[in-house]
Structure formats: C-alpha cells, structure tokens
Structure 1
Amino acid sequence: MRAPYVLSDASVVAWRNIIKIKRVPDLLVFTTLSPIMFVLLFAYVFGGAIGQNGNAQAYREFLMAGIFAQTVIFGATITGAGLAEDVKKGVIDRFRSLPMAPSAVLTGRTLSDVINNVIVLIVMSLTGLIVGWRIRGGFWDAAAGYLLLIVFAYAVSWIMAWIGMLVPSPEVVNNASFIVIFPLTFIAVTFVPLDTLPGPLQSIAEWNPVSSATQASRELFGNIPAGTPQPTAWPLQHAALYTLIWTVVILLIFVPLANLQYRRSTSR
C-alpha cells in the first residue's frame, strides 16, 4: 500500500485516540492534573529540603528537565496499555475488517501519544513557570530541547507498542512498564546531580539514555547550575547526539518488531 494511504489511515486512527482522551475522564485527569502534581510535589518537597541551604530556586530550575523527561517517558506507556486494551476488547479485530493499512494502527497509536505528550509538556511548563522555573537559553534552543524530549519519548512508545501487542493485558503492561521505567528514570541525572550518586550507580547513570535526554534538554533550556562540574563520560558530553543515536536505534529495532507482533497477534 502506498505511503499516502498509510499516512491517511494512521491519521484517522490517531484522531480516534485523541478523541478518546477527551471522552474518557481518567485519561483527561492523567493528562492534565498528574503533571501539575509532579511539578509541585518535586519542587516543594525536594526543593524545600535543599532550600535549607538556600538553593531551592536553583534546584527547581535544575529539576524541571528531569520531570519533563520522566513524565513523557511514562506517558509513552499509554501506547502499550491502549493497544493491549484494544486487543482485549476486540477493537483490533474490527480494524482488520476495514480496508486500511495494517501498519496504520500502530503508527496512529504512537502519533496520538505524541499529541498527549505535547499537552503534558505545555501543562508542566506553565506550572513550572508558576513555581519559579525559567528558560535561560534562547527560543530555538528551548524548542530543540522540547523536540528532543518528544522524539525520544516517541521512540520509547514503539517499545511499549511491541509490549502491548506481546502481552495483551493493560494491567500487565502497566505493571511491567513501571518496574522497568521507574528505576531507569531515577538512576539518572533527572533529579540529582551525577556526583551525588554512589560509584556503581554513577556509571549506570552516565550511559543511561534518560540521563542524556535530561542533560541535553537542561543544557538547551539554560538550566545547568553555576559551578556544575563538566561531565567526563562521552554520553553526557554529547548528550543530544547520544539521545538521537538511542532514538534511531530504538526505532530501527522496535518499529519492525511491533509490526511483526501485530501481524502475529491479528492472525490468530
């Protein structure tokens, strides 16, 4: 099937998922209130503790890129849970009966979650501005920081799409994703500087792509605290490049895997 038809079909599937966000209250709450809660909780709980040394404001600026990275990556799990739910309810079987490109189902699902992450980043940014976060870099640098986070989260959503087709149970997908993503986003430079981590965890954090995504966006936002030591590990020295390399590798591996698993699941 030609590319224009695939894109057209994918846009219809994406629109179906976007409308679902508006119509299902639980998804709407997660999209809007959860990011606000994360920003306020981390800013005033962690920031308040560090603020005893007079660094609360600096920490809030340091913090925001990490919260952005964690939230958009967790947002990518919606892809897996949504696909698993569609398989469980027989929606995928209905798609099979329609004259549409098979790849459009997964493409539309992942594209709709890009829209969800854009909404989340807007809400979180506005909340961050309220608590004192500021973008210290230029406009185009900040735009590149946001784009890098969205592109990396899009790649992660294809991993979740593969898992969603492999394990067609929303509960299992959510639990498995949490077990993997939670430590991945905390053993990183998301919430604390690298030099505060124990030795073995420092090595993991240096090569963790979540660290590089956070470091790159933090640099582009101009939120690196004064006096912060220059990173010595190559991934953090070239954070944007390392993140893009991971993004390409993930897409090259998991786009074919997810589509292959989709064909296997729908042929049963």
Structure 2
Amino acid sequence: MPDALIHTTAMAGRAIRLSSRAVDALVVALALPLMLLLVFVYLLGGAIDTGTRYITYVVPGILVLCAAFGAANTAVAVSEDMKGGVVDRFRALDVSGTAMLAGHVIASTLRNLVSTALVLGAGLLMGFRPDASAAGWLAAGALLVAFLVAISWLAAAVGLLARTPEAAGGFTFFMTFLPYPSSAFVPVESMPGWLRAFADHQPATPVIESLRGLLLGQPVGSTPYAALLWCAGIAAVAVALSERLFRLRTG
C-alpha cells in the first residue's frame, strides 16, 4: 500500500477518534439538523406554501444544511491542529499536509453521513415518503457524498486560513448560512428578484433541487450535472488553496 494512502487512512482514524472524544461538538452536529427539521416542519411549515406537503419539500434542504453544519467542525479541527503544534510531529514522521487534511475530510464525510442518516430517518418518521428508484437512491447518495467532500475540503481551507479555532468557527458561518438563501426551505420563485438571482446561481440550490427530484422520483433534467460541476469546482479550488495555505503556514 502506498505511503500516502497509509498516512491518509491513519489521519482519518485519528480525526474520527478526536471527534468521538469531543462529545459536546458531536452531539450538537448531530442534533442541530434534527432540531431544525422539527422547527421548520412543525412551527413554520404550516404557513409555507410549496405546492406539496412541507415535510416532502424540506427534507432535501435539511440534508444539505446538515452537511454545512458538519463541515464547520472540520475547520475548527484543522485550526486546532495548526495551533497546537502537532503538525511538526507529523512532518517529522514524513506525513504530508495533504494526508493530514484528507484525513479530516474523510472523517467529516463519515460524520456527515451518520447525521444524514439520522435526519433521513427522522424525516421518514415524520411523514417523508421518497419515491426514488434504486438508481435514484444511488444517484442522490453519490451527489450528496460529492457535496460533503467538496464542502469539507472548503472547511479545511478555512481552518488553515483562520489563526485560531474560534475564528475558524466564525468563518464557517458563511457556509452554514448558504443553504438559507436557496430553495432549501421555500421556492426561489417566492423571493424578491435580487435574492432570487443569488439563490438561482449559488451551489446549494442545484444540489438541493437534484436531491429533491431524485428522492421523489421527479424529472431533474441537467440539474445534477450543474450540481456536480459546482462540487468539482469547489473541491478543486479548496484542495489547491489548502495545499498553498499549508505551505505558507508551515514554511
């Protein structure tokens, strides 16, 4: 097995163990999307007209919001590594910065998949009834993983950019806010023109619309391709930026 793969696997295992020890952060990351699902469905859903049952409309949006919340923990974890000096020990063991960051991204993706499963399970209990074929489920799962990986790499870059874990947590507010001005909770047609223009041309909307169509067995057209292009673009920029920032921080 190549050294890079061994190091990445070891770093992912380390990041998962660290996550399991930070019980409070883990509970918040898992519970907050569930609480938001309850709030939007039972407190706000009755006043929002989406042309369908609100639980059916909102679950895909909560899944994307869940990914954004989970990625915020990645930024904080990377910042803590940079601040704590553990990176010097990794470099002494010939562990590359890419392997360390990839380990955090893998751990973030796995955490988010657990949170996604909890949200989806809660949605089913609350009346969400997907009508996807096997191919639809596979496509939705693949798209969600692509988005998780992309946003986790972006969070890793934020963690390198921030000088403190507190600042990293603050910077990730923008990622967690992104699903709100999208089609996650209300149709974009109901928004003012200037806000609709933003909602139509930001990455969360095509991802959410693709997940919604795939899970409900509805036509999706070329929207999943647009969503994948966004994911690939975000990931490519974030990986390149992360490598550059890591060299600057450790050079």
Of the three residues 195, 205, 215, the one matched with 1:201 is 195
Q: CA deviation at 1:221?
A: 0.5
Q: How many angstroms apart in 1 are the aligned matches of 2:222 and 2:47?
A: 31
Q: What do residues 145-193 of structure 1 show as CA deviations (whole Å, max 9, x unaligned)?
A: 1321221121122122112112131111111221x23442111101001
Percent identical among aligned pairs is 29
Aligned residue in 1 for 2:72:
77
Q: 1:12 to 1:29 in 2, by over 3 A?
A: same
Match for residue 90 of structure 1 among 85, 102, 114: 85
Superposed CA RMSD in Å reads 2.1
- Aligned equivalent of 2:222: 238
Assess if the C-alpha contact under 8 Å between 1:57 and 1:132 holds in 2.
Answer: no
Q: Secondary structure at the match of 1:135?
A: coil
CA distance in 1 between partners of 2:239 and 2:24 (Å): 28
Q: Secondary structure at the match of 1:185?
A: coil
Partner residue of 2:163 out of 145, 163, 168? 168
In 1, distance between residues paired with 2:199 and 2:212? 16
CA shift at 1:112, angstroms? Answer: 0.8
Residue 136 of structure 1 corresponds to 131
Q: Which runs of 4+ in 1 moved over 6 A?
A: none
Contact (CA 8 Å) 1:76, 1:154: kept in 2 or not? no
- Further displaced range: 154-163 or 107-116: 154-163
Structure 2 gap ranges (5+): none
Are the aligned partners of 1:47 and 1:56 in contact in 2 as well (CA < 8 Å)?
no
C-alpha separation in 1, matches of 2:26 and 2:127: 26
3-state secondary structure, aligned to 1:260? helix
Name the aligned partner's letter for residue 43 of structure 1.
Answer: V
Length, aligned pairs only: 251
Instruction: Report how far residue 104 of structure 1 moved.
Output: 0.5
CA distance in 2, matches of 1:182, 1:123: 18
Query: Which aligned pairs between 1:1-268 and structure 2 lie closer than 5 A?
Result: 4-50=2-48, 58-178=53-173, 180-222=174-216, 238-267=222-251
The alpha-carbon deviation at position 28 of structure 1 amounts to: 2.6
Amino acid at match of 1:190: A
Q: Distance in 1 between matches of 2:15 and 2:97?
A: 16
Q: Secondary structure at the match of 2:241?
A: helix
TM-score (norm 2): 0.92
Residue-by-residue CA offset, 1:220-247 (whole Å, 9 max, x unaligned) = 00176xxxxx9xxxxx852210111111
Whole-angstrom CA distance in 1 between matches of 2:217 and 2:117: 18
Q: Name stretches of at least 5 consecutive residues in structure 1 with no aligned partner.
A: 225-229, 231-235
- Displacement after TM superposition at 1:67 (Å): 0.6
My pick for the range that moved more, 209-218 or 90-99, is 90-99
Contact between 1:72 and 1:150, CA under 8 Å: does it hold in 2?
no
Contact 1:65 1:190 in 2 (8 A): yes
Q: Which residue of 2 aligns with 1:233?
A: none
In structure 2, how many angstroms separate the alpha carbons of the residues matched to 1:259 and 1:43?
41
Match for 1:206: what amino acid? D
Alignment TM-score, normalising by the size of structure 1: 0.87
